[in-house]
Each structure stands twice: as C-alpha cells, then as structure tokens.
Amino acid sequence: MSAITATHLGDNLPFGARICGVTRESLDDEANRELIRRTLRERGVIVFEDIEQTGEMQVALSKVLGPLKDHPVATVERADEDLAEGVIAIRSDGDTMMVEEDGKQLVTWQPWHFDHCYQNELNYAGVLRSVSLPRDDGMTGFADGIQIWNDLPDDLKARIDGKTVIHTLFLRLSDMKFDTGGFEVVMDADDEIYKFAATLPRALHPAVWRRETGEKVFHMAPWMAFGLLEDESEAGDRLFAEVWEAAKKVMKSYYHKWQGSEMVAWDNHRMLHRGQGSSPDEVRVMHRTTIKGDYGLGRWDEGHLATRWVPEAAE
Ligand SMILES: [Fe+2]
C-alpha cells in the first residue's frame, strides 16, 4: 500500500499543509485516511498535489473527512447530482457577480467569508477542484482564524470576545456593510437568491469561539455580515469595522494558484476564504463538495427574519 506524505505549506505560515501521494488505492489505508483527517484538524487547509482530477476522486477524498451534505441553497448550480449530493459548481460564465478592482474587471470575485454563515449550521469542510482555469488570476485565498485571533491587539480582543455576529444571505456586493473599499460593483447577484434569503431568519454565530483543542478562533468576516447582536447601533457597526480592519492587518493569508492537478480542502469552522476573481473573458469553473459536521455554536435568530441592509447612498 502506498504511503502519503504531508509537509507544511509554507515556512512562514502557521497553517496549511501539502499532501502528496493520494490515490484511490492509498485512500483504502486507514492510516492514510487518519493522516488526512489529523492534518486538516491541525493545519486548517490542505493542498493535495498531483491527484486524479475526477469527480469520483473528489468525492472519495471528501468522504475521508466526513459524510457529504446537500447545499442549503436550491438555486446554487449542482455539478453532478448523480455522483453525490452537495457537489456544487462555481462558474465565472452565466449570471455572476462582477467587480472592477485596480482597473480590472473580475468575475467570481468573493470577499472574505466562511461558508454557510447565513445558516444555523456550518459545514465542516469543503474540497475544491478546478475544472476550467483562466490563464491569469482566479486564485483562492485562505486565512486562519486561530492566527488572526492570536495576533489581534489585546484591547480589541477584549472588546469583541463574547459578541455574536448576525449574518444573512443578502449577499449582493452592493449591499455589503463592511469592508466596501477598493472595488466597484459592475454586476450583482440575481433576484432568485434574494427571494430565498428573505425566507430565512437571521443566522447568529460567535465572533470568537474555542476549539476542543483549546485554541480560540476569530470568526468574523465582512461578506454577508449584518452586524453585532444586541449592538445594532452605529457604535456596534464601528466596532465590527474596527476589528475587521485590525484582522486584515495581522492576517497571514495564503493564495492558492490553481494548476489543474490538485485539490484543496479547508476547515470551514476555522479558515476564512475568498475568491480573487478572474477575467470575464475566460471561463473559470470550480467544483466544491460540502462536508457535513457542525461546530454547534450557530443558531437562528428565532422570530427575526433576515432583512436586507441597504447602503445609505442607495436609498
Ligand atoms: Fe465560499
């Protein structure tokens, strides 16, 4: 049985691993499966190098990390429902959001976020695979909630620890409340997802939480964030913005440049991620699995339906 090897992703990164040698055969070995699970728990993100580029392999690898679950949004495109539930396609063509950043138009540009923040339950992890790549850009960024928390200034830690963040599925970039500098919205999300967003209660997640292994995890991101529970005031919004700006300053990020021969898994309870975006003239398609496993700290804001935050200038 072939062995697999795990190394750190970068010398200066406190998170991330690179695993080589994963084949369908090697996944039959429980020692290899446990190495993959342990590495994700310890390092938060794994780049699997030179791995078979099929949906079957992506699902087999994902199932090592946990059972799959369906994606909560029915209008999100499914990659292959016959293969497994919750395998979604992220496409740059068709109806997609577009921004202009530094004079470049970019599609599938996504701000920092964690998946399913607009739900009471999170998914534990996802595995991403590139199906069609642009020549340039299109990187996926990852940042570590443990590292961010460790490096935040103590006074901000004291002010944000114990707070609860409100999220909604109102994901239009022009409706963002926090971290709105540096880009112009060219095209935004369609109405379908907004109809669904309006049926959901607000989702609540802790701004900071502690893992079983003892580390505290910074758990805030600007995309789909509505504000702080019990502090829905200008002062509360200012605190969110101040903490997020400080988080960006201390953040050590890793941007994965896709080669077409790898897959990337990340712990969605711990890591923030974002899409760099790519040219609208080229097609970029990614497939992502949805791995079940909740951290148990999110909840619905019962009786409080999500509402859209409208920027003042748009009113
Ligand atoms: Fe995401």
With cut-offs at 50, 70 and 90, classify the pLDDT of residue 239: very high
CA 99 – CA 182 distance, rounded (Å): 10
- pLDDT value for 80: 79
pLDDT tens digits, residue range 16-40? 999 999 999 999 999 999 999 999 9
Q: 182 CA distance to ligand 1 centroid (A)? A: 20
Q: 232 CA distance to ligand 1 centroid (A)? A: 26
- pLDDT value for 173: 95
Three-class DSSP category at 17:
strand
Q: Over the range 22-56, which residues count as b (16 or more CB within 10 Å of their CB) and which as e?
A: beeebbeeeebbebbeebbeebbbbbbbebeeebe
pLDDT at 159 over 80: yes
Q: 268 CA distance to ligand 1 centroid (A)? A: 9
CA 28 – CA 315 distance, rounded (Å): 58
Three-class DSSP category at 133:
coil
- pLDDT value for 103: 95
Q: 90 CA distance to ligand 1 centroid (A)? A: 10
The domains of the chain, with CATH numbers, are 5-314 (3.60.130.10)
pLDDT tens digits, residue range 102-112? 999 999 999 99
Q: What is the mean pLDDT of the chain?
A: 94
Whether 21 contacts 2, CB under 8 Å:
yes
pLDDT tens digits, residue range 196-211? 999 999 999 999 999 9
